[in-house]
Chains A and B, each alone.
Chain A
Amino acid sequence: MTERLRVHVDPDKCQGHARCKALAPELFELDEYGNAHEAGDGTVPPGLEDKAWLAKSNCPEIAIDVIEE
């Protein structure tokens, strides 16, 4: 069984702690203020699933969703 994951950052909740960028740099990008958004459409390439969950579980603002598709 293979499931595809997608990450999404809620821009209203993100306060720029940048934990996601430190833990999963492939999946997140920061803007000029240091606030995060998902890279591209948020699709998690195979092999990076752990990093997606790690980013979610370290976001102090609970701003990251990992969607199982």
Chain B
Amino acid sequence: MRLLPPQVLSANTSLKGFEMSDVSQPAAHPPVTDWVHDFDHTDPQWTEDPFPIWEELRAASPVVHTERFLGCYMPTTYEAVREIANDSEHFSSRRIIVRDVRPEVARNAAPPITSDPPVHKPAKQLLLPPFTPDAMKKLEPRMRAICNELIDGFIADGKVDAAARYSKYIPVQAIAHMLGIPEGDSDLFINWIHMILELGIKDESKLLQAVQEMSAYFRTHIEERRTKPTDDLISYLMNAKDKEGNPLEESHVLGSLRLLLIAGIDTTWSAIGSSLWHLAKTPADRERLIAEPGLIPTAVEELLRAYSPVTMAREVVKETTISGCPVKAGNMVLLSFPAANRDPRMFPDADKVVIDRRENRHAAFGLGIHRCVGSNLARMEMQVALEEWLKRIPNFALDPAGTVTWSQGTVRGPRQLPFLLGKAM
């Protein structure tokens, strides 16, 4: 007799809880007054400037806890983050976003990011070949063209919202290109991502609506390819076989497609935006990169460390100890790679951007088996986006008449980035 895989069991056992929370309404969170015992990564203070908060939490304990989100831990040191990322026995990836409720796991599963061993590895290996550094090199000319087309659209204006007009569209158009869906549908994708990663934290109906809409969208594209196969990631996944040589189930294909679209967009949008934000307010770094473009790949790593966009999550499924702190099953874990990357015990001058930092084991793309599938794509996009921008717009600064705003929740980056360009400065 074969035991049911753990995902099936957990889906069934959490069904009751799900029904009760299915019609959950968005709840306003009370403001945080005690960060160490009551942290909340959706608090406006965290969104605006999380760095002093992480420092306070790290000084208090390697692992802190909040009663919010039905109970959630947060490792505050690089070492504690590494321990958890490498421990899939006690920490499951079946839920990877800390939310007010715990949606049923099966409904929005997106393998391999929501998979644990042993299911994880084959699902991951399936996605890896299209994302190797060599595969990314082939995409690079298209990326340079996309960047220049975007710059053409605003360079004459003397000012621009670089988040809305530049950093946002680079990853959207790249992943649309790879998936083989129209680059012109960009705003549709961006809205789904906003519903899942931001609104969905507090309003589950938005999450479910976006997942349904995305699945319907991709089903249409899958149907088209049944009669007219294409050379893109959708056809690649449709034709992929599992270990036994069988085609993937439709739910697996749809889940992976949703994952690629979600994971590929606002993450890199955020990373490019934060990098430009840093360069806008740090003329010395900007001038150095213009004088030494060969330093850009090193600078990209440092910007990824200092402004890592992505915070993941795990669910504690078995009691254990992390960095000497007991953690209990049933709680979520806010797995903050951005906070780990600011740990001064791991990185000297952790709170400074050292644009030529030589030793940099940053965890911006995660650690362990769930290392970001798209890391090579993200790095290529960031390098190309900065190179093309600096070539054409060597002088730019934050527009004092505008306001920089940051996204809330799981992925942090500028969503409004008003710049003055060149002579307008």
Task: Contact check, A33 vs B368: say whether CB atoms are below 8 A apart.
Answer: no
Q: Is B376's CB within 8 Å of the partner chain A?
A: yes
Task: Contact check, B376 vs A60: say whether CB atoms are below 8 A apart.
Answer: no
Task: Contact check, B371 vs A59: say whether CB atoms are below 8 A apart.
Answer: no
Q: Is A24's CB within 8 Å of the partner chain B?
A: no
Q: How far is the CB of A27 from chain B (nearest CB, A)?
A: 15
Task: Contact check, B129 vs A21: say whether CB atoms are below 8 A apart.
Answer: no
Q: Mark A27-69, 1 if CB is under 8 A from B, else 0.
A: 0001011100000000000000000001001111110000000
Number of interface residues of B (CB under 8 A): 23
Task: Contact check, A60 vs B131: say whether CB atoms are below 8 A apart.
Answer: no
Q: Is B190's CB within 8 Å of the partner chain A?
A: no
A65–B258 alpha-carbon span in the complex (Å) = 37
Pick the contact of A34: B132, B301, B362, B363 (CB < 8 A): B132
A16–B376 alpha-carbon span in the complex (Å) = 9
Query: Which residues on the A side are within 8 Å of B363 (C-beta)?
Result: 60
Task: Contact check, A21 vs B133: say whether CB atoms are below 8 A apart.
Answer: yes
Q: Is A9's CB within 8 Å of the partner chain B?
A: no
Interface size class of A (residues with CB under 8 A): 10 to 19
Q: Is B318's CB within 8 Å of the partner chain A?
A: no
Task: Contact check, A33 vs B128: say whether CB atoms are below 8 A apart.
Answer: yes
Contact A32-B129, Cβ < 8 Å, known A57-B358, A58-B361: yes
Query: Which residues on the A side are within 8 Å of B361 (C-beta)?
Result: 57-60, 62
Contact A16-B360, Cβ < 8 Å, known A32-B132, A33-B128, A34-B132: no
Q: Of residues 4 to 33 in B, which have CB atoms within 8 Å of A's CB atoms? A: none
Q: Is A17's CB within 8 Å of the partner chain B?
A: yes
Pick the contact of B371: A16, A21, A57, A58 (CB < 8 A): A16
Task: Contact check, A18 vs B360: say whether CB atoms are below 8 A apart.
Answer: no
Pick the contact of B131: A34, A54, A57, A59 (CB < 8 A): A34
Q: Which of B132, B369, B379 has the most CB of A within 10 A?
A: B132
Query: Which residues on the B side are within 8 Å of A58 (C-beta)?
Result: 301, 359-361
Q: How far is the CB of A4 from chain B (nearest CB, A)?
A: 23
Instruction: Across the interface, name the chain A residue whose C-beta is closest to B361.
Output: A60
Q: Is A1's CB within 8 Å of the partner chain B?
A: no
Instruction: Across the interface, name the chain A residue whose C-beta is closest to B132.
Output: A34
Pick the contact of B125: A18, A21, A22, A33 (CB < 8 A): A33
Q: Is B39's CB within 8 Å of the partner chain A?
A: no
Task: Contact check, B358 vs A54: say whether CB atoms are below 8 A apart.
Answer: yes
Query: Which residues on the B side are within 8 Å of A34 (C-beta)?
Result: 128-129, 131-133, 376
Query: Which residues on the A side are within 8 Å of B367 (C-beta)?
Result: 15, 60-61
Q: Mark B349-367, 1 if CB is under 8 A from A, else 0.
A: 0000000001111110101
Query: Which residues on the B side are within 8 Å of A15 (C-beta)?
Result: 367-369, 371
Q: Which of B125, B131, B361, B365 has the most CB of A within 10 A?
A: B361
A17–B361 alpha-carbon span in the complex (Å) = 10
A33–B132 alpha-carbon span in the complex (Å) = 7
Query: Which residues on the A side are within 8 Å of B125 (C-beta)?
Result: 33
Task: Contact check, A60 vs B132: say whether CB atoms are below 8 A apart.
Answer: no
A18–B369 alpha-carbon span in the complex (Å) = 14
Q: Is B413's CB within 8 Å of the partner chain A?
A: no
A30–B301 alpha-carbon span in the complex (Å) = 20
A59–B371 alpha-carbon span in the complex (Å) = 12
Q: How far is the CB of B308 from chain A (nearest CB, A)?
A: 12
A15–B133 alpha-carbon span in the complex (Å) = 14
Contact A22-B360, Cβ < 8 Å, known A15-B369, A17-B365, A33-B125: no
Task: Contact check, A16 vs B128: say whether CB atoms are below 8 A apart.
Answer: yes
Query: Which residues on the A side are within 8 Å of B186 (C-beta)?
Result: none
Instruction: Across the interface, name the chain A residue whose C-beta is closest to B125.
Output: A33
Contact A17-B371, Cβ < 8 Å, known A57-B361, A58-B360, A59-B361: yes
21 contacts between A and B (CB under 8 A): A15-B368, A15-B369, A16-B128, A21-B133, A22-B133, A22-B379, A30-B132, A30-B133, A32-B128, A32-B129, A33-B132, A34-B128, A34-B131, A34-B133, A57-B358, A57-B359, A57-B361, A60-B362, A60-B365, A60-B367, A61-B367
**4 tightest A-B contacts by CB?**
A33-B128, A15-B371, A34-B132, A57-B359
Q: Which A residues are within 8 Å of any B CB, using their own CB?
A: 15-19, 21-22, 30, 32-34, 54, 57-62
- Since A30-B133, A34-B376, A60-B361 are in contact, a sample of 16 more A-B pairs with Cβ atoms closer than 8 Å, ordered by chain A residue number, is A15-B368, A17-B365, A17-B371, A18-B132, A18-B133, A19-B301, A22-B379, A30-B132, A30-B134, A32-B128, A33-B128, A34-B128, A57-B359, A58-B360, A60-B363, A60-B371
Q: Which B residues are within 8 Å of any A CB, using their own CB?
A: 125, 128-129, 131-134, 297, 301, 358-363, 365, 367-369, 371, 375-376, 379
